[in-house]
Amino acid sequence: MKDIRHLLHVAAAFVVVIIGFLIARHLVVPKSFGRIGHYRADAVDEIKALPLRYAGEQACAPCHRAQAKAKASSRHKGIRCESCHGALQAHAEAPSSLKPAKPKEGEMRAFCARCHEKNLSRPAKFPQVDPREHNPGVACSQCHPPHQPK
């Protein structure tokens, strides 16, 4: 017994470390972890409780009939208003509380090129132009109405 005391002390140290770990684990791991999957189940409710930032296209139409109507029949019909104007839930609830962004004249070319710049990795049928050659110096919207491009 005397000759294995040091081993017992080390074993005790290990037990202390393991118990310490289990206590730390108990304290650190969120209570709802693992209830649904390998994550914190409460996260779902927390995310649900976050304020909405996007209103969705249907919300815009009643007030912006002209743009909605124009877009609905154009080739931009698949693009949501908020893809170009940013998240606008606050604006849709109270229009004067948030003035929506709108690409300015000077930024227009870079703005449209985001989707229309010629790029080999885009589908060949997708309408694309090389902004350095395609009518340089003039804002795209001068010739292509953004809500009804032609």
The residues that touch ligand HEC, with contacts defined as CB under 6 A, are 55, 57, 59-60, 62-64, 67-68, 71, 75-76, 78-79, 81-85, 88, 91-92, 95-96, 99-100, 102-103, 109, 111-116, 126-129, 131, 134-135, 138, 140-144, 146-147, 149-150
Contact 85, 100 (CB under 8 A): yes
Rounded CA-CA distance 57/82 in Å is 7
Q: Does 104 bind another protein (CB under 8 A)?
A: no
Question: Phi and psi dihedrals of 117, rounded to 5?
Answer: -65, 140
Closest approach of ligand HEC to the CB of residue 117, in Å: 8
Q: Does 33 help bind another protein (rule: CB under 8 A)?
A: yes
35 binds another protein (CB under 8 A): no
55 neighbors 88 (Cβ within 8 angstroms): yes
DSSP state of 142: H
Q: Which of 79, 117, 128, 145 binds another protein (CB under 8 A)?
A: 117
What is 1-31 written as a DSSP string? Answer: -GGGHHHHHHHHHHHHHHHHHHHHHHHHS-T
- Tell me if 10 contacts another protein by CB under 8 A: yes
User: Is there binding between residue 5 and another protein (CB under 8 A)?
Assistant: yes
Q: Is the dihedral of CA 70, 74, 80, 83 positive or negative?
A: negative
CB of 144 within 8 A of CB of 75? no
110 binds, among another protein, ligand HEC, none (CB under 5 to 8 A by kind): another protein
Question: How near is the Cβ of 63 to ligand HEC at its closest, in Å?
Answer: 3
